[in-house]
């Protein structure tokens, strides 16, 4: 066990985490020349294109140092804030972490939040200054920032370049010298932490775990503590680029397990695996069910594709257990699903994967968060509102609570003003402001989650010229004065466009929604009124004028009453059409509500 090292790499998006992992694999000879490719651990097309890690991966390397063989387990972590629970479980499976900071961009918000996670788990932190070969790099200044943040010596920071391979040997040396070997008792009953799972269509769910105590052997009967289910370990092994089956995996090591489970929801990240006959008494702390934060309706463009969409969603769920969905129907869009996502990036990824992997074109409704509603009749009972149309009648409503988050934004000091005014416009309350260096400020806000679901991230990047980085964590529910704004088109309410909005912003947003829809809905043969309403009160109205044929063209000269007669006749026809005509709403109209500021 003394020759095992488990470590992860933590970094902000685009600071060179995947490239550094590639170089470590090259240097330790884990990958042959034939298997080499950039971003080797990012296996999804989407990850390669966007340059982000979505799914965490684990890989084992062997390295000889001072004549001794060492086994190094790299447990990769996703970088985005949406997947912070997965990051926390990956960190819990390690003893050390490489903190990668870009020498050109310095420390960003996610670096700090993931660093705090690592420090809470008592990990040994090895700071790495990446991209030192760039012309725009500022190694001395950024090294000082790292020293201030960690309280380490400047000599401990390893300058490196993952692209050219500078400093890779020093990093491996530091992992072996500084990261402590895993502690654990191989003779105790089995206790292992699940930090990830992948779905293999041929073999069922593959579970990735780290053994804390005891050992897991092939053919052993095991039990998952959180779900209470027992299985047989059909195959256990370690993770090189391909899987290497072994007889057993002992304490301190990382491996994979195949039990033939077909449903990804049975394997929960953060759960504890133990022996079914001699179970361990203490489960590993920190397990929680992944809670979706953002909800949106996903509907097939053609209602006949509903069953096909259901199949696609079920297959996606096998790969991504944090996606939850249930059927719902909308008067405007027909049958579809109400889906829960971890955040906006997760929603984008699911939508993109549906289109790419399953050829499904879908309509996504306005994303919203889940609220708690309390009625006057029964003020103790909490009603969960995931869809604005589920909100009880306002006359019997006692209060509505919405989820709040603690947002931390790191930006250059030149942009403090615009960033603050954006956050205050989004109903944020500033709680803290710290200067990390002379020109970098960390701002902390308490904000409603619903406000950042819309266009917050894009606008934050705009007001800070791309310099601000953003991270958030939930802090519970708070009561708010919310109203439901309905959109009526031609007198009938379109449920897919209704939203819960704070009372102070309702008039403004209702007005902008109507204006936006007027631009997007094509003109018909009759006038179409577009109205925004709170309950029975109309707060805004726009009209799309009718296309009209000049019926009086053939009356040249003559009495005015003849022209009037023709116009009256046309008016009657238009009125009748308006009663029976229905308005086609284009797909962009549903998405446009998100981009009201453009």
Q: Which residue has the tokens 């069922």?
A: 204
- The answer to whether 274 and 222 are in contact (CB under 8 A) is yes
Beta carbons of 368 and 449 less than 8 angstroms apart:
no
Is 502 marked as binding a ligand? Answer: no
Sign, CA torsion 503/505/511/516: negative
What stretches of 55-128 show up as alpha helix (H) in DSSP?
A: 84-92, 109-120
Q: What is the Rg, in whole angstroms, of the alpha carbon atoms belonging to the chain?
A: 29
C-alpha 533, offset from chain centre: 32
Distance in angstroms (rounded) separating the CA atoms of residues 74 and 135: 30
Beta bridge partners of 230: 223
Write out the two tokens for 567. Answer: 């116009």
Q: Known binder of ligand: residue 132?
A: yes
In Å, the largest CA–CA distance within the chain is: 110
| 345 close to 430: Cβ distance less than 8 angstroms | no
Report the alpha-carbon distance of residue 186 to residue 183 in Å, rounded: 10
Distance CA(102)–CA(361), nearest Å, equals: 38
Give every CB contact of residue 491 below 8 A, 6+ residues apart in sequence: 529
Show the tokens assigned to 49. Answer: 């294109």
Distance (Å, rounded) from C-alpha 517 to C-alpha 514?
A: 5
The DSSP letter of residue 81 is G
Q: Which tokens is 193 given?
A: 């932490």
131 annotated as ligand-binding: yes
Closest CA to 90 of 109, 114, 107: 114
On whether 15 is known to bind a ligand per the annotation, the reply is yes
Alpha carbons 488 and 530: distance in angstroms, whole number: 6
Residue 238 is assigned to a ligand binding site: no
Question: Which residues, other chains included, contact 562 with Cβ-Cβ below 8 Å and sequence gap of 6+?
Answer: 555
Is 130 assigned a ligand-binding role in the annotation?
A: yes
Helix (H, G, I), strand (E, B), or coil: what is residue 557?
coil
Question: CA-to-CA distance for 157 and 575, rounded, in angstroms?
Answer: 76
Q: Would you say 16 is a known binding-site residue?
A: yes
Cα–Cα distances in angstroms (integers) from residue 233 to residues 216, 271, 280, in the given order:
8, 16, 17
Which residues on neighbouring strands pair with residue 437, listed in sequence order? 440
17 marked as binding residue: yes
* Residue pointed to by tokens 């790099």: 137
Is 471 among the annotated ligand-binding positions? Answer: no
Cα–Cα nearest to 597, from 473, 392, 454: 454
Residue 238 sits at φ, ψ, to 5 deg, of -105, 165
Q: Measured between alpha carbons, how far is 526 from 547 in angstroms, rounded to an integer?
A: 7
Distance CA 411, CA 392 (A): 41
Distances (CA, A) of 436 to 142, 203, 425, 441: 12, 49, 25, 6
The distance from CA 61 to its chain's CA centroid, rounded to whole angstroms, is 30
Query: Contact, 433 vs 423, CB < 8 A?
Result: no
Q: Which residue ranges are tagged as binding site? A: 14-19, 130-133
Q: Which residue ranges are tagged as binding site for GTP? A: 14-19, 130-133
């Amino acid at each position: 066990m003394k020759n095992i090292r488990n470590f992860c790499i933590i970094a902000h998006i685009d600071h060179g985490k995947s490239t550094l992992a590639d170089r470590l694999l090259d240097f330790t000879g884990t990958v042959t020349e034939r298997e080499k490719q950039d971003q080797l651990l990012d296996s999804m097309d989407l990850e390669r294109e966007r340059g982000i890690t979505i799914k965490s991966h684990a890989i084992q390397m062997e390295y000889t140092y001072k004549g001794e063989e060492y086994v190094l387990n790299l447990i990769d972590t996703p970088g985005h804030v949406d997947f912070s629970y997965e990051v926390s479980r990956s960190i819990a499976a390690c003893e050390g972490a490489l903190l990668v900071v870009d020498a050109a961009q310095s420390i960003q918000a996610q670096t700090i939040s993931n660093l705090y996670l690592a420090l809470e788990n008592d990990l040994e932190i090895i700071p790495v200054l990446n991209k030192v070969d760039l012309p725009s790099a500022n190694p001395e200044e950024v090294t000082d920032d790292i020293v201030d943040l960690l309280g380490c010596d400047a000599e401990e920071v390893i300058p490196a370049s993952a692209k050219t391979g500078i400093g890779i040997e020093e990093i491996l040396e530091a992992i072996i010298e500084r990261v402590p070997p895993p502690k654990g008792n191989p003779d105790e009953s089995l206790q292992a932490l699940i930090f990830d799972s992948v779905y293999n269509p041929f073999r069922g769910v593959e579970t990735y775990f780290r053994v804390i105590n005891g050992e897991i052997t092939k053919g052993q009967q095991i039990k998952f503590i959180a779900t209470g289910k027992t299985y047989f370990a059909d195959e256990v092994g370690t993770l090189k680029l391909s899987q290497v089956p072994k007889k057993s995996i002992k304490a301190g090591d990382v491996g994979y397990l195949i039990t033939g489970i077909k449903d990804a929801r049975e394997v929960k990240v953060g759960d504890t695996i133990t022996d079914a006959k001699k179970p361990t008494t203490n489960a590993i702390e920190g397990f929680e069910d992944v809670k979706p934060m953002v909800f949106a309706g996903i509907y097939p463009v053609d209602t006949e594709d509903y069953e096909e969409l259901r199949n696609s969603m079920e297959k996606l769920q096998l790969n991504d257990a944090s996606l939850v969905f249930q059927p719902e129907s909308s008067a405007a869009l027909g049958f579809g699903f109400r889906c829960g996502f971890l955040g906006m990036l997760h929603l984008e990824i699911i939508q993109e994967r549906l289109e790419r992997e399953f050829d499904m074109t879908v309509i996504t409704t306005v994303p919203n968060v889940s609220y708690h509603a309390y009625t006057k009749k029964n003020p103790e009972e909490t009603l969960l509102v995931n869809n604005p149309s589920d909100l009880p009648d306002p006359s019997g409503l006692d209060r509505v609570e919405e989820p709040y988050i603690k947002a931390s934004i790191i930006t250059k000091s030149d942009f403090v003003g615009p960033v603050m005014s954006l956050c205050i416009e989004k109903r944020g309350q500033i709680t803290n402001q710290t200067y990390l260096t002379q020109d970098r400020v960390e701002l902390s806000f308490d904000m409603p989650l619903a406000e950042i679901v819309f266009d917050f991230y894009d606008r934050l990047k705009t007001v800070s010229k791309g310099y601000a980085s953003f991270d958030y964590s939930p802090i519970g529910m708070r009561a708010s004065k919310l109203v439901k704004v309905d959109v009526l088109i031609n007198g009938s309410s379109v449920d897919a466009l209704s939203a819960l909005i704070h009372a102070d912003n309702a008039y403004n947003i209702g007005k902008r929604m109507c204006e936006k829809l007027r631009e997007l809905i094509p003109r018909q043969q009759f006038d179409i009124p577009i109205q925004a309403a709170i309950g029975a009160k109309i707060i805004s109205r726009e009209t799309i004028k009718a296309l009209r044929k000049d019926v009086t063209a053939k009356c040249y000269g003559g009495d005015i009453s003849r022209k009037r007669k023709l116009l009256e006749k046309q008016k009657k026809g238009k009125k009748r059409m308006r009663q029976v005509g229905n308005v086609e709403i284009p797909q962009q109209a549903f998405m446009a509500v998100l981009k009201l500021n453009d």
